[in-house]
Amino acid sequence: MKINQFISLKKYNSFQINAQGRYFVELNKRDDFKTLLHEHGDKYIFPLGEGSNILLVEDEIEALVALVNTKGIQIVHETERYVHVKIEAGEIWDEVVQWAVDREYGGIENLTLIPGKIGAAPIQNIGAYGVELKDSLIACEFIDKSTGLFEEVDNTYCQFAYRDSIFKNELKNKVIVTAITLQLSKEGHHKYNTSYGAISNHLKEHFSNEINLSTIREAVKQIRMSKLPDPKVVGNSGSFFKNPIVDRQQFELIQKQFPDIVHYPVAENKIKLAAGWMIEKLNGKQLTVGGAGVHPKQALVLINKNNATGTDLLQLSQQIQSTVFEHFGVQLETEVNIIDQKYTCQL
Residues assigned a catalytic role: 163, 239, 335
Of the candidate spans 17-25, 65-73, 75-83, 237-245, the one that interacts with ligand EPU by CB under 6 A turns out to be: 237-245
| DSSP state letter for 271 | E
Assess 270 for contact with ligand EPU (CB under 6 A): no
Assess 181 for contact with ligand EPU (CB under 6 A): no
User: Shortest approach of ligand EPU to residue 227 CB, angstroms?
Assistant: 6
Closest CA to 163 of 336, 331, 347: 336
Assess 47 for contact with ligand EPU (CB under 6 A): no
Query: Contact 85/75 with Cβ under 8 angstroms?
Result: yes
Tell me which of 239, 317, 321, 334 binds ligand EPU, using CB under 6 A.
239
| x-marked contacts with ligand EPU along 291-320 as a string, rule CB under 6 A | -------xxx--------------------
Taking CA atoms, 151 is separated from 147, 157, 174, 189, in Å, by 10, 12, 12, 31
Assess 227 for contact with ligand EPU (CB under 6 A): yes
Assess 236 for contact with ligand EPU (CB under 6 A): no
Nearer to ligand EPU, 164 or 335 (CB): 335
Angstrom distance (rounded) from CA 45 to CA 260? 46
Nearer to ligand EPU, 12 or 129 (CB): 129
Of the candidate spans 98-106, 150-158, 183-191, 234-242, the one that interacts with ligand EPU by CB under 6 A turns out to be: 234-242
Of the candidate spans 37-45, 80-88, 272-280, 325-333, the one that interacts with ligand EPU by CB under 6 A turns out to be: 272-280
* Helices assigned H by DSSP within 228-305: 248-257, 275-281
User: Shortest approach of ligand EPU to residue 245 CB, angstroms?
Assistant: 11
User: Shortest approach of ligand EPU to residue 107 CB, angstroms?
Assistant: 16
Closest CA to 150 of 171, 170, 178: 178
Angstrom distance (rounded) from CA 272 to CA 263? 6
Rounded to 5 degrees, φ, ψ at 208 are: 45, 35
Rounded to 5 degrees, φ, ψ at 321 are: -60, -45
Closest CA to 199 of 184, 187, 186, 216: 216
Binding residues for ligand EPU restricted to 78-137, rule: CB under 6 A: 128-129
Assess 165 for contact with ligand EPU (CB under 6 A): no
At 175 the three-state DSSP class reads: strand
Assess 242 for contact with ligand EPU (CB under 6 A): yes
Angstrom distance (rounded) from CA 255 to CA 22? 49
Which residues lie closer than 8 Å to 187 by C-beta, 6 or more apart?
Answer: 104
Residues contributing to the site for ligand EPU (CB under 6 A): 128-129, 227-228, 238-239, 242-243, 262, 274, 276-277, 280, 298-300, 335
